[in-house]
Amino acid sequence: MIALLLIALLILGAASAAILSRNLIHSALLLVGAWAGIAAFYLWAGAEFVAFAQALVYVGAVSMVVLFAVLLTRQGATRAPVEYDSVKRAVFAFIVAGGVAGVLVGAIMGSPLQGHIASPTPAVSVKQLGLLLMGSYAPALLIVGVLLTVALLGAIVIAAEEKG
């Protein structure tokens, strides 16, 4: 239980420091710290495979995307602006953020929680996980893949400048 509290403290501390820091690079690196904390949480919960995948994807790859995006789009200015652009945007931002928070809190409150039963070996082996992903959950995996590809194409379309 102490380990869980420490991990939660690490995640929350890193995440809040990331929001409060006015230096964008520091924010990005602290965010990586929060992701690493989430990986540690998965490890604590006995989900080895998910923990390593989280570290590989978020700490290794997504962090690079974030850092490259900050450096390439802001052209050296790494200070985040504090003030909002317009009242309308601020109101919408609060509505969206509040909505997401509401959905998340509702989902957490709605799910049944038992005490954590520590198991020395993961209950599901990597092989079973792979068979599940390639078998009954294959459509979900494919849909996620298509979604990410569409998002990537959308990002290219938005970022690409028309020439001539």
Partner 1 sequence: MNLETLPLQLRNAIVDLFPPALQWFVHHLLTITVILTVFGLFFAFTTIAERKLLARLQNRLGPNRAGLPWFPKLKLWGITQPFADAIKAITKEDIVPAAADKVLHFLAPVLIVAFSLLGFAVLPFGRNLIPVELDAALLYFFAAGAATELAIFMAGWGSRNKYSLLAAMRALAQLISYELPLILSVVPVVMVCGTLSTKAIAAAQGGWTFGLLPHWHVFTPWGFAAFIIFLIATLAESNRSPFDLPEAESELIAGHLTEYSGFKYALFFMAEYFGLTALSGLGVTLFLGGWQAPCEFLQFIPSYLWFMIKLVGMIVFFIWVRGTLLRLRIDQLTRLSWKFLVPLALLNLGNGAFWALTPDWTGPLVLARWAISAAIVVVPFVLLGRRLTAGQAPRSYRYA
- 80 is a contact residue toward partner 1 (CB under 8 A): no
- 125 is a contact residue toward partner 1 (CB under 8 A): yes
- 27 is a contact residue toward partner 1 (CB under 8 A): no
Q: How far is the CB of 90 from partner 1 (least distance, A)?
A: 31
Residues 35-54 that bind partner 1 (CB under 8 A): 39, 48-49, 52-53
Q: How many residues bind partner 1 (CB under 8 A)?
A: 23
- 148 is a contact residue toward partner 1 (CB under 8 A): no
Instruction: Give dist(CA 125, CA 29) in Å, integer.
Output: 32
- In the complex, the residues that contact partner 1 under the rule CB under 8 A are 25, 29, 32, 39, 48-49, 52-53, 55-56, 59-61, 63-64, 67-68, 71, 121-122, 125-127
